[in-house]
Amino acid sequence: MSRVDILGVKFDALTPEEAVAAAEALPYGSRVVTPNPEIVTAARNDPELMEIINSSGLVTADGIGIIYAAKLLGRKLPGRVTGIGLVTALFERMAKREGSVYLFGAKPGVAEKAAEKISADYPGIRIAGTHDGYFSDDAEIIDDINAARPDLLLVCLGAPKQEKWMASRSGAVHAGLMMGLGGVLDVFAGEVKRAPKLFQKLGLEWLYRAVTQPSRFKRILKLPGFLFAAMRERGGEK
């Protein structure tokens, strides 16, 4: 699988369909991460996070900013592979073989709501368990996951907490595949709406989220810095 370096993070150069096939082909216990520009920026200042991301089984480009940076750097990434797009495609396929999923993360009650929605939308999927993402000791959570041995474990603690949790617990947790997916349980639960299709198509989902969730606005302000860093890197290569 060829990987494309964007400011140190090595992304798998895959279309959404190829990414689904790649996720299914990963060895038992692999980790999937879907970095956006904000996480790439964080990883540049955090070597441990950089190593955690680059040692994951699959690294997909979540966010149009990553694609812009690839273009600026003259490197080829086929397009965005969002975490939510990837997990819903996996759900469709898992439903056919009665695969199981454990939902870990978000505020109390959200994972249960998400479970109801997932069961309704993808009959055939087994919900192996749920747990909220606010804890001081995760030993019981790990026991609960291990008793269920899910095919898929969604770890939705926000970045970089979820990436660090997956890496540090990967030896202790028994799940076929672990995916770090930020706020997707909130989306499944209907707590946060996805942007209208047109915004998604234009790659402007970030703009919709910034306006509808003003708390996210300061994150958007980091995007120019990220693109400048890509430009500087390109300048340095010449």
Do the beta carbons of residue 174 and residue 146 sit within 8 Å?
A: yes
When binding is defined by CB under 6 A, the residue of 138, 163, 186, 205 that contacts ligand UDP is 186
Give the separation between CA 11 and CA 155, rounded to whole angstroms. 20
Choose the stretch contacting ligand UDP; rule: CB under 6 A; options: 1-9, 71-79, 139-147, 182-190. Answer: 182-190
Q: Is position 189 an interface residue for ligand UDP (rule: CB under 6 A)?
A: no
CA 80 to chain centre: 12
73 vs 186 by CB, closer to ligand UDP: 186
73 vs 130 by CB, closer to ligand UDP: 130
When binding is defined by CB under 6 A, the residue of 133, 148, 205, 223 that contacts ligand UDP is 133
Q: Is position 217 an interface residue for ligand UDP (rule: CB under 6 A)?
A: no
Q: Is position 159 an interface residue for ligand UDP (rule: CB under 6 A)?
A: yes
When binding is defined by CB under 6 A, the residue of 71, 76, 96, 107 that contacts ligand UDP is 107
Q: What is the SS3 assignment for 62? A: coil
53 vs 159 by CB, closer to ligand UDP: 159
The β-bridge partners of 177 are: 30, 152
Give the separation between CA 91 and CA 233, rounded to whole angstroms. 38
Element (H, E) at 101: strand 100-105
Q: Is position 85 an interface residue for ligand UDP (rule: CB under 6 A)?
A: no
Instruction: Give me the least distance between CB of 181 and ligand UDP, in Å please.
Output: 7
Instruction: Give me the least distance between CB of 192 and ligand UDP, in Å please.
Output: 7
When binding is defined by CB under 6 A, the residue of 76, 109, 116, 134 that contacts ligand UDP is 134
Give the separation between CA 53 and CA 55, rounded to whole angstroms. 6
Q: Is position 129 an interface residue for ligand UDP (rule: CB under 6 A)?
A: no
Give the separation between CA 130 and CA 114, rounded to whole angstroms. 9
In order of 75, 82, 103, 162, the CA distances from 182 in angstroms are 26, 11, 12, 8
The string of DSSP letters for 76-91 reads: -------HHHHHHHHH
**Distant-in-sequence, close-in-space partners of 143: CB < 8 Å, separation ≥ 6:** none
When binding is defined by CB under 6 A, the residue of 57, 65, 105, 150 that contacts ligand UDP is 105
DSSP state of 156: E
Q: Is position 183 an interface residue for ligand UDP (rule: CB under 6 A)?
A: yes
Residues that bind ligand UDP (CB under 6 A): 105-107, 133-134, 156-159, 161, 182-183, 185-186
